[in-house]
């Protein structure tokens, strides 16, 4: 894609993001930069996929009325599109199509994961922990629900369909994207249930990912202290990158 058009599209996206108050100020300029790189290296379909992943993250916030809308921070942008952007840079350098496919697969996982947590939280039934299968709290990383799993599948199918229409009418690539989105989200949940840091609110006794709850500081409960949800997202994307790199190059 032409650099000028890439910049214009990304500035437009940045403007909408800003008007929707979806990002903090320090995150806005890097977000526009990521978008420019993605569009310039990956083309218009890569840009559309970025927009869809972004819309997924704000649309669910809009219809999640009881959850306070919050602005996404720079660290969340990096953890959601960092690996994908890197993949497109390698695609530009090597001109090897597998890196474009990896970009789309990683983005499918990012959308699937966002939808799973934001729509899954609306589930009427209590979710279960993906590792212990015990019932747990809604919205806590590592807990999964049928509604969340269906959302994951819908997000993955959506990204796979955009790729199929916009880039390559190849059913194998389509399936790789859908499976990456779906299985990648499960990996995300497994990491969320195992190594991600969790805290306990001493006031309401709930387990949470937040450092504050009920207006008070929470105490460490379990997990590796420096591994938060953002790092888990980054790790899941990285795992998809490595697994697909091996499968597409050596199998």
Closest distance of CB 166 from Zn ion, Å: 45
**Residue 126 or residue 202: which is nearer to Zn ion going by CB?**
202
Nearer to Zn ion, 214 or 246 (CB): 214
Please, what is the minimum distance in Å from the beta carbon of residue 208 to Zn ion?
A: 7
206, 204, 151: which is closest to 181 by C-alpha? 151
Q: Which residues bind Zn ion (CB under 5 A)?
A: 201, 203-204, 213-214
Q: How far is the CB of 71 from Zn ion (least distance, A)?
A: 22
> In whole angstroms, how close is the CB of 219 to Zn ion at the nearest point?
11
β-sheet bridge partners, residue 199: 208, 220
Which stretches does DSSP call E strand in the chain?
128-129, 143-144, 198-200, 207-208, 212-213, 216-217, 219-222
Give the phi and the psi of residue 129 in degrees, each rounded to 5: -70, 130
For Zn ion, the closer of residues 185 and 229 by Cβ is: 229
The HSE-up count of residue 210 (CA atoms within 13 Å, CB side) is: 10
Q: Is 135 in a helix, a strand, or coil?
A: strand
Residue 126 or 212 having the CB closest to Zn ion: 212
CB of 212 to Zn ion, least distance (A): 9
List the one residue out of 68, 60, 76 whose CA is nearest residue 26: 76
Nearer to Zn ion, 92 or 211 (CB): 211
Distance (Å, whole) CA 217 – CA 202: 9
Closest CA relative to residue 28, chosen from 11, 46, 43:
11
**In whole angstroms, what is the distance from residue 32 CA to residue 160 CA?**
24
Smallest separation, CB 221 to Zn ion (Å): 12
Residue 63 or 221 having the CB closest to Zn ion: 221
Output the smallest distance, CB 113 to Zn ion, in A: 25
- Find the residue with minimal CB distance to Zn ion: 201
Contacts of 208 by beta carbon, 8 Å cutoff, 6+ apart: 140, 198, 199, 200, 201, 218
CB nearer to Zn ion: pick between 204 and 224: 204
């Amino acid at each position: 894609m032409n650099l000028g058009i890439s910049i214009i599209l990304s500035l437009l996206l940045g403007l909408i993001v800003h008007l929707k108050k979806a990002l903090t100020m320090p995150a806005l300029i890097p977000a526009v930069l990521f978008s420019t790189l993605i569009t310039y290296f990956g083309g218009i379909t890569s840009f559309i996929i970025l927009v869809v992943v972004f819309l997924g993250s704000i649309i669910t916030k809009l219809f999640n009325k009881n959850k306070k809308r919050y602005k996404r921070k720079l660290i969340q942008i990096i953890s959601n599109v960092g690996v994908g952007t890197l993949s497109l840079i390698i695609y530009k350098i090597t001109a090897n199509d597998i890196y474009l496919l990896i970009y789309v697969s990683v983005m499918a996982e990012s959308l699937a994961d966002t939808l799973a947590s934001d729509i899954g939280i609306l589930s009427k039934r209590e979710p279960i922990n993906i590792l212990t299968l015990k019932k747990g709290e809604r919205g806590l990383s590592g807990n999964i629900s049928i509604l969340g799993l269906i959302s994951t599948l819908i997000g993955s199918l959506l990204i796979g369909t955009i790729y199929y229409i916009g880039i390559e009418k190849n059913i194998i690539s389509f399936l790789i994207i859908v499976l990456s989105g779906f299985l990648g989200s499960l990996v995300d949940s497994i990491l969320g249930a195992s190594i991600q840091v969790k805290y306990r609110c001493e006031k309401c006794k709930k387990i949470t990912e937040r450092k504050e709850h009920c207006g008070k500081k929470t105490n460490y409960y379990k997990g590796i202290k420096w591994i938060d949800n953002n790092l888990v997202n980054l790790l899941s994307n990285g795992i998809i990158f490595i697994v697909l790199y091996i499968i597409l190059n050596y199998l």
